[in-house]
Structure 1
Amino acid sequence: MEGVFFDSWATLLRTLVVAVLAYVVLIAFLRISGKRTLSKMNAFDLIVTVALGSTLATVLLSKDVALAEGALAFAMLIGLQFVVTWSSVRARWVRRWVTGEPRLLYYRGEMLDQALRHARVTVDEIEAAVRASGMATLGQVESVVLETDGSFSVIKAREGQPPSVPVGVALPGKTKD
């Protein structure tokens, strides 16, 4: 039971000093790399954010990881994220590989069963997204899209307007281009 509640003043001091320095290093790297580094636009961005947090915790609490090693890990994660996002802006295949594409799940009164199965989404989840968007029935909805970040976009049906496919989304069996 020794060291469960208190090990030594030296370990507390180390944690304090490393916490401040690691935090400053991380903030500096994030400022240099830009706002995109911590965006939550898709699953890839979330993974990078979680990895940075995990790395920070490891640097703070593990005596086996020096501050310089933690700083290098921060730099590597941020650098790799920069390379991937830079590439995804320039190459469509990289963007599709990293982020996927939005998927139409409901369109003009019809649940798109194959799309639902592929996305592993239930009708109950679609109905919950519709309710969360402030609509009471599917009759008020033109389409529901599963976005690349895992969120649902619910597009309201427009009375007196012809139906339209949401921008950037392909109808099943068709391509976006």
Structure 2
Amino acid sequence: MFFDDLHGLLRVAIVSLLAYAAMVLVLRIAGKRSLAKLNAFDLVVTVALGSTLATVLLSKDVALGEGVLAFAALASLQWLVSRLSVSSAWFRTLARAKPRLLLENGEYRRDAMAQERVTKSEIDAAVRNAGHGRLEAVVAVVLETDGSMSVIVDSAEEELTALRSVQR
């Protein structure tokens, strides 16, 4: 009921240790961006790594070496996509979303909200979470590429250069 045999338990214990070590090693070699929460591709890689790890740990049909190769392949693909995104504007446009302006100078941008499927209440919550109670004090709310919302408040002495890359 709780397990089939001791051999199966021993296999899971040993493969868990080795697969975990291999995944940590692959991710350290791949760099900090490997588990970044920046775009859809990064999310896919993160989910695929978790799924691959679970399969390696629990399936007797998948050998540890095959799992390690899958980890390396996923990390390499993520590295390649991020490298191409840095070096090619065309590829960057294809692979990455742009941040989107949802509220500007206290006014909701309904067209952007509709396209991004964001409600007023979600924007209001982001403003509250940033510690503000008045929309009029907010210069911008930006839907970032990772799905989070940034709230920028009015600051007369600062030029808002961080909004240059935001899709209006």
TM-score of Structure 1 vs Structure 2, range by shorter chain: over 0.9
1:85 has 2:69 as partner: no
Correspondence list, 1:41-120, <5 A:
41-120=38-117
The residue type equivalent to 1:22 in the other structure is A
- Distance in 2, matches of 1:28 and 1:158, equals 44
- Distance in 2, matches of 1:102 and 1:155, equals 14
Cα deviation 1:94-139 (Å, max 9, x = unaligned): 2222221011111113211110000000011110100000000101
Offset at residue 159 of structure 1 (A) = 4.7
Cα deviation 1:65-84 (Å, max 9, x = unaligned): 11111111111101111110
More off after superposition, 127-136 vs 31-40: 31-40
The residue type equivalent to 2:153 in the other structure is K
- Distance in 1, matches of 2:160 and 2:31, equals 39
Q: In proportion to residue count, which structure has more helix?
A: 2
SS in 2 for 1:155: strand
TM (norm. structure 2) is 0.92
Alpha-carbon distance change, 161 to 70 in structure 1, aligned in 2, over 3 angstroms: closer
- Distance in 2, matches of 1:70 and 1:18, equals 10
SS in 2 for 1:150: coil
1:5 has 2:23 as partner: no
Equivalent residue number for residue 152 of structure 1: 149
- Distance in 2, matches of 1:31 and 1:82, equals 12
Alpha-carbon distance change, 28 to 114 in structure 1, aligned in 2, over 3 angstroms: same
Offset at residue 56 of structure 1 (A) = 0.5
Equivalent residue number for residue 175 of structure 1: none
- Asked whether the 8 Å contact 1:143–1:156 carries over to 2, the reply is yes
Alpha-carbon distance change, 136 to 11 in structure 1, aligned in 2, over 3 angstroms: same
Give the percent of matched residue pairs that are identical in Structure 1 and Structure 2.
Answer: 52
Runs of 4+ in 1 over 3 A off after TM superposition: 159-165
Alpha-carbon distance change, 79 to 165 in structure 1, aligned in 2, over 3 angstroms: closer
Match among 166, 172, 175 for residue 163 of structure 2: 166
1:130 has 2:130 as partner: no
- Distance in 2, matches of 1:25 and 1:165, equals 39
Cα deviation 1:122-174 (Å, max 9, x = unaligned): 01111010000000010110111101010001110225778878231143xxx
Equivalent residue number for residue 174 of structure 1: none
- Distance in 2, matches of 1:32 and 1:160, equals 43
Cα deviation 1:47-73 (Å, max 9, x = unaligned): 211211111011000111111111111
Match among 15, 21, 41 for residue 18 of structure 1: 15
Offset at residue 92 of structure 1 (A) = 1.6
Alignment length, in residue pairs? 168
